[in-house]
Amino acid sequence: MYFDDPAVVLAASIERLGERAGRQFAALARRGFVLERPARQAAVTGRCRLGGPALLNPGTAWPQTHGFPLSLHAVLDIDALGGWLGSALPTVRPGLLNFFCADPDVPYETYQQLDFRQPEACRVIPADPAQAVETAAPAPALAYPAVPVHAAAVTMLPDSWDVEDGDVAFDSSVHWGAASLIFDTFAGLDANTANKHCAFGWPDTSYANPVTTRDVDVPAVHLLQLARDAELGWSWGDAGTLYFTIPAKSFAAGDFTAARLTVQSC
């Protein structure tokens, strides 16, 4: 769930949860972005965009799985986002991040035989903004038109299904778990990023499943959420959404080979 004004996060949490649980929940807040088509007063943020060619360092091999090239779905300009993310970023910033996942333009008979649950079915590849060159997707990877985006800075709290019992105090005689508490008390805000493209912060969990795994009790870092998009022809399963996450330790080390893709749908 996201808030345009970071100043209201603590107050809203205490109002709905009480002093103790409210402060615990507010402590989970992360900075993130809602990715929107640019408007008159919302300019394109750096080189951030959906679709288009990849921005790769010269000599970088195009990622593949099962012999099929992956499709480029988005590019995030971390330098342009860094002012809001601040210390949440690795010490050595990646510059640009290219997000790929398997989406080959092949006959259905071939497509259904491919296992896209393997880690190789998604890749997040960093690039140096000073060296990166536009690189077109090789066939038969699907290529999408470039859509520059404005990254609107927001503050996010986890949706109910990404909250674990140890995160927030709750009355077990009333709620079966912390997720139940957040679902009930944050009605109207919980899952308000559903059907939106978002970066960092916390992902939408409106499919009633957690997205963010834990790495030694530290939540994974949410990198990117991509919703269905009619203009781009994106639709995964039944109103599905793509989520790119990475273990916190790998993110801090700049090891984006550890990034993983989760697909959820109705």
**What phi and psi values does residue 238 have, to the nearest 5 degrees?**
-100, 95
CA pair distance 201, 224, nearest whole angstrom:
9
**What phi and psi values does residue 182 have, to the nearest 5 degrees?**
-70, -40
Average pLDDT for 165-179: 96
Q: How, if at all, do strands 64-65 and 150-156 pair?
A: unpaired
**What token pair was written down for 215?**
């790495």
pLDDT band (50, 70, 90) for residue 66: confident
Of 242, 202, 249, nearest to 2 (Cα)?
202
pLDDT digits (tens, 9 = 90+) for 83-116: 999 999 998 889 999 999 988 777 888 777 777 6
Q: What's the whole-model pTM score?
A: 0.94
Q: What's the mean pLDDT when you consider all of the chain?
A: 93
**pLDDT at residue 198, as a whole number:** 98
Question: What percent of the chain has pLDDT above 90?
Answer: 78
**pLDDT at residue 161, as a whole number:** 95
Angle between helices 8-17 and 19-26 (to 10 degrees): 140
How far, CA to CA in Å, does 107 sit from each of 46, 111, 227? 37, 6, 24
The domain spans of the chain are: 1-45+149-249, 54-144
pLDDT digits (tens, 9 = 90+) for 209-255: 999 988 777 899 999 999 999 999 998 877 889 999 999 999 999 99
Helix/strand/coil percentages in the chain, nearest 5: 20, 30, 50
pLDDT digits (tens, 9 = 90+) for 10-47: 999 999 999 999 999 999 999 999 999 998 888 999 99
DSSP 8-state symbol, 262: E
CB of 168 within 8 A of CB of 27? no
- Identify the three-state secondary structure at position 150: strand
Burial of 34 (0-12, 13-18, 19+ CB in 10 A): buried
**pLDDT at residue 75, as a whole number:** 98
**pLDDT at residue 17, as a whole number:** 97
**pLDDT at residue 116, as a whole number:** 67
First to last CA, the chain: 19
**pLDDT at residue 132, as a whole number:** 98
Question: What percent of the chain has pLDDT above 70?
Answer: 99
**pLDDT at residue 238, as a whole number:** 79
CA pair distance 153, 164, nearest whole angstrom:
26
